[in-house]
Amino acid sequence: MIDFKNQLIKKARKEHGKIFPCGIHVSLHDCFTHEKALDKLFFWFNIAGDKSTRVIALKLNGRTQ
């Protein structure tokens, strides 16, 4: 699962530049939700510009790591 998390972090940085953990989290790796029913991994983060929260998702297609 760590590879999927790193993939989403890399994608978020490419799309939004500098990103930060959201809420009370101190690490980006703590900002994930694995929704088994949807078979998706969601990544929640804040962007530097306006400090808004964004989310991106990755369809797992039954893959686990």
What's the domain count of the chain? Answer: 1
Q: Which domain holds residue 27?
A: 2-59
Tell me whether residue 64 is in a domain: no
State pLDDT tens for residues 20-63.
999 899 999 999 999 999 999 999 999 988 889 999 999 998 87
Tell me whether residue 20 is in a domain: yes
First-to-last alpha carbon distance for the chain, in angstroms, is 5
Model pLDDT, residue 2: 86
Model pLDDT, residue 65: 57
With cut-offs at 50, 70 and 90, classify the pLDDT of residue 64. low
Tell me whether residue 65 is in a domain: no
| Residue 43 and residue 50 in contact, taking contact as beta carbons nearer than 8 Å | no
| Residue 28 and residue 8 in contact, taking contact as beta carbons nearer than 8 Å | no
Tell me whether residue 55 is in a domain: yes
